[in-house]
A and B are shown apart, each in its own frame.
Chain A
Amino acid sequence: MQMLRYALYTGCTARESTPELLKSTLAVAEKLGIELVLLDEASCCGASHLQDYDDFLSLVLNARNICYAEKLGLTMVTICNTCQLNTAMTKHRLDTNPELKAKVNVKLAEVGLEYKGTSEVTHFLYAIIQDYGLENLAKKVNVPLSQFNIAPFYGCHNIRPSELQNLSNGGENPYNPTSLDDLIIACGGNNVDYDAKNKCCGFHAELQSPHTAAVLTGNALSGAIDANADWMVTPCPLCHLKLDVQHHGASKAIGREVSLPVLHMPQMVGLALGCTPAELGLQHHVTKVNFV
C-alpha cells in the first residue's frame, strides 16, 4: 500500500481545550503509517459564527488555509466537524462560483497566495475509512474492543447538509449514518444504536441559548446510557467538549444524572491499535476514562 500523506488542519480546539485529540490523531497516524503534515499557517475556520458576522472575510480566511494544503499538493484532512463544514463549504462555494473565487483571489494576492481548488478537504474519519480502508485497519487491531458497548455520536457538521458533505463522506445518509458504526466494528467493539446518535449536541448555542444546548447534550448522553453504552465516541471535538465537560449542566437541564466517558474517534482507534492511555491523552478527560 502506498503511503498516505495529508495536510492536517488541526483547528483551534485540538491545540487548546482538547490537546488529547491532536495527540491521539498523531499517534494513530504513526501506527497506521499515515504521514500528516501540520498546517501551522492555518487560522480559525470561524466556526459558523464569523460567517454570521462577516461572510466574505470568512471565505478569504478559509481559502487561505486551503491554499497551504494546495501548496503541498496534498488533500487537507480535518479533525473537527465544524472545521470540515466551513472549509468544505468555502471550497464548494469558490469552486462553483468563478466570480466569487476571483474576488477572493484578489485579496489573497495581497499576501502572495492564490486559491486554485486543487486540494480536496475531508475529515480524518473518512480518510481512514475510504483511503486506508476498514479491512486494513481491522488487520492492525491487536487489542479488539470486544468487551465494550460503544455509542457513536456523529456530530452534525460531518453529515449535514448531505449535498455538501457527500462530496467527501462517501455518500453517508444523515438519517442513517454508518461510518462511525463501521469503524467501531472494525476496532472489534459493539456498536450501540440510539436515536440521538445523528442529532445535535447543542455546542453552537451554548453561550446564547444555554438551556437549549444543555438539553440537547443531556438527550445525547441519556440516549447512549439507555442503550446500554459503556462509552461514547465522536469525531468532533466540539461535541466532545459538550459531552465530556458539561454533563453537570446537562443533567440539571433534563433532571437526570447523566455522565459517560466520551472518546475522540482517534482515541478509540488508538486503543484498538495498542496505544497507551498516555499516548492518547486520556488523562485530559473531565469525565474520567475508567475502563483502561
Chain B
Amino acid sequence: MDGLKSQQVTFKLFRFNKDTDYLPYYNTYVLDVTHEEVILDVLNRIKWDHDGSLSYRRSCRHGICGICSIKVNGKAILACKARIFDLINVFGADMTIDPLSTKRAIKDLIIDKEDFWDKHAQVKPFLVTDVEENPSLENLVSPHDAEKLLEADYCIQCGACHYSCPALEINDRFIGPAAFAAAFRFAADVRDDSSLERLHIVNEETEGVWDCVKCMECAEACPKDVNPIEKITKLHNMIFDTGIAKDNVATRHAVGFAHSINKHGLLDEGELVRYSEGNIGVMKHLPEAFEMWKNGKIVMPWNMPKSKNLDEVKKLIESSSTVKF
C-alpha cells in the first residue's frame, strides 16, 4: 500500500425503515479511509463488512446514472464521485451521511423521488415536434444552436439541486431547479414546437420561476455544473421576451428596478414596493414601514438620493434596453 494516505473518519449513518421504525436513528462507524476512496466505497464496506441491512442506491459508479446522490453534512453529493479526502478538507473527519431528503426516506439512504419526477413531468421534458415517421435524413442541429442549451442537457436527474432548494422545501407546489433546467433545455431547443407552452407552465405564480429565492444553492449542489439558477434566469428573460409576462407583483418587481434606476440611478425602495404591490396591496406593508420610519429607515420621496452623472444612466437605459414590458 505504498503511497496510500489514510485517515480515520467517523461516519454517522442515517438509518430508518419506513415499514417498521417510528423514528430514524444514526449508526456510527469509525473507519480508516484512504485518499483513493469515495463515499460509495465506504457505504459498500459498511454494508459488506458490518451491516448487510444497510440500504442505498448505486448503479453506474461513474457519475452518470445519478442514482447514488445523498447528503454529507448537508452537502448533496454523488456517492460515487465525492472523494472522502476532499470532504475532510471541507468538514474535517466527522461526517453525517443522510438521504437527500430525510422526510422522504423509505429505507436508510433510499428516498421516494415521486415529487421530483412529478415536477419533471409537469414541464413536458421531451421534444415536441412533427417529424416524419421514417425520415431519410437526420434532424441536424448546428453547433451554434446546440450551444443555446447552455449544457442544460448535462442534467442526470440525480435530484441534488431539487433537494437542496429551500423554496421547494417550504412550498411543495414550486416546480424547482431541476425541472426548470429541463424546461429550459427543451424551450431553448430550436427543433421544439412547445416552447411557449412550457414558458406558460413556469410562468405560473406559486409554481413557477417567480418564487425562486435566488439563494444559488442549486448551482452549488449540481455535480454536473448544469447551473440551474442560470437557466431559471434565462426562463425569466424568455417570459419577458415572448411577451407572456403577466402583470403581477413578481413581474412588476423586476420591471420596477428599471423604472427606479432610470429616475434616480439608485433604487427607490419604497416606490418599488408600491409599484410592485399596487396602491392597495402596499397597505399590508404599512405596519413595517411605520416601524422603519420611526427608526429613520425610510427616505421620503423628496429626499431620495440620486446617482451622480445620472444623465449617463438615463442615456444607457435608453440605448441598451432590450426588453419592453
Q: Which one of B101-109, B112-120, B304-312 is at the interface?
A: B304-312
Q: Which of B74, B253, B295 contacts A49 (CB 8 A)?
A: B253
- When the two chains form their complex, are residues B74 and A195 in contact, meaning their CB atoms are under 8 A apart? yes
Q: Could you tell me the distance in whole angstroms from the C-beta of A287 to the nearest C-beta in chain B?
A: 10
- When the two chains form their complex, are residues B213 and A161 in contact, meaning their CB atoms are under 8 A apart? no
Interface size on B, residues (CB 8 A): 69
Additional A-B contact list (10), CB under 8 Å, known A16-B267, A16-B269: A41-B307, A50-B261, A64-B316, A85-B216, A160-B219, A161-B229, A175-B220, A200-B215, A284-B297, A285-B295
- When the two chains form their complex, are residues A156 and B316 in contact, meaning their CB atoms are under 8 A apart? no
Q: Identify which of B73, B249, B257 gathers the most chain A CB atoms within 10 Å of its CB.
A: B257
Known contacts: A64-B313, A107-B316, A176-B73. The answer to whether A284 contacts B295 by CB under 8 A is yes
Q: Could you tell me the distance in whole angstroms from the C-beta of A42 to the nearest C-beta in chain B?
A: 6
Which A residues touch B313, using CB under 8 A? 43, 61, 64
Q: Which one of A29-37, A52-60, A185-193 is at the interface?
A: A52-60
- When the two chains form their complex, are residues A207 and B253 in contact, meaning their CB atoms are under 8 A apart? yes
- Does A228 have its Cβ within 8 Å of any Cβ on chain B? no
Known contacts: A12-B267, A110-B315. The answer to whether A54 contacts B292 by CB under 8 A is no
- When the two chains form their complex, are residues A286 and B240 in contact, meaning their CB atoms are under 8 A apart? no
Interface residues of A (CB under 8 A from B): 12-13, 15-19, 40-44, 46-57, 60-61, 64, 85, 107-108, 110-111, 113, 156-157, 160-163, 173-176, 195, 199-200, 202-205, 207-209, 211-213, 215-216, 245-246, 248-249, 283-286
* Residue of chain B at shortest CB distance from A156: B215
Known contacts: A18-B297, A41-B308. The answer to whether A57 contacts B73 by CB under 8 A is no
* Residue of chain A at shortest CB distance from B317: A57
- When the two chains form their complex, are residues A43 and B167 in contact, meaning their CB atoms are under 8 A apart? no
* Residue of chain A at shortest CB distance from B91: A176
Which A residues touch B151, using CB under 8 A? none
- Give the complex CA separation of A50 and B265 in angstroms: 13
12 A-B residue pairs with Cβ-Cβ distance under 8 Å, sorted by A, are A44-B265, A53-B323, A57-B322, A57-B323, A85-B216, A110-B315, A160-B216, A160-B219, A199-B215, A202-B213, A285-B295, A286-B292
Q: Could you tell me the distance in whole angstroms from the C-beta of B45 to the nearest C-beta in chain A?
A: 24
Which B residues touch A202, using CB under 8 A? 213
How many A-B residue pairs have C-beta atoms within 8 angstroms? Tell me: 206
Q: Could you tell me the distance in whole angstroms from the C-beta of B99 to the nearest C-beta in chain A?
A: 17
Which A residues touch B213, using CB under 8 A? 200, 202-205, 209, 212-213, 216
- Give the complex CA separation of A61 and B320 in angstroms: 9
- Give the complex CA separation of A40 and B265 in angstroms: 10
- Give the complex CA separation of A261 and B227 in angstroms: 35
Which B residues touch A57, using CB under 8 A? 258, 316-317, 320-323
Which A residues touch B261, using CB under 8 A? 43-44, 46, 50, 61
Q: Could you tell me the distance in whole angstroms from the C-beta of B123 to the nearest C-beta in chain A?
A: 18
- When the two chains form their complex, are residues A13 and B316 in contact, meaning their CB atoms are under 8 A apart? no
- Give the complex CA separation of A163 and B317 in angstroms: 30
Q: Identify which of A60, A113, A157 gathers the most chain B CB atoms within 10 Å of its CB.
A: A60
- When the two chains form their complex, are residues B170 and A216 in contact, meaning their CB atoms are under 8 A apart? yes
- Give the complex CA separation of A48 and B170 in angstroms: 22
Which B residues touch A207, using CB under 8 A? 249-250, 253, 273, 276-277
- Does B90 have its Cβ within 8 Å of any Cβ on chain A? yes
B230-241 CB mask vs A (1 if < 8 Å, else 0) is 000100110010
Q: Could you tell me the distance in whole angstroms from the C-beta of A153 to the nearest C-beta in chain B?
A: 13
- Give the complex CA separation of A54 and B74 in angstroms: 34
- Does B150 have its Cβ within 8 Å of any Cβ on chain A? no
In the A-B complex, the 8 residue pairs with the smallest Cβ-Cβ separation, listed nearest first, are A160-B216, A52-B236, A200-B215, A208-B250, A50-B257, A43-B265, A111-B312, A53-B254
* Residue of chain B at shortest CB distance from A48: B214
Which B residues touch A17, using CB under 8 A? 269, 292, 297-299
- Give the complex CA separation of A46 and B260 in angstroms: 10
* Residue of chain B at shortest CB distance from A286: B291
Q: Could you tell me the distance in whole angstroms from the C-beta of A243 to the nearest C-beta in chain B?
A: 13
Which B residues touch A49, using CB under 8 A? 253-254, 257
Residues of chain B in range 280-309 having any CB-CB distance to chain A below 8 Å? 287-288, 291-292, 295-299, 305, 307-309
Q: Which of B215, B229, B249, B292 contacts A208 (CB 8 A)?
A: B249
- When the two chains form their complex, are residues A54 and B75 in contact, meaning their CB atoms are under 8 A apart? no
- When the two chains form their complex, are residues B255 and A61 in contact, meaning their CB atoms are under 8 A apart? no
* Residue of chain A at shortest CB distance from B248: A208
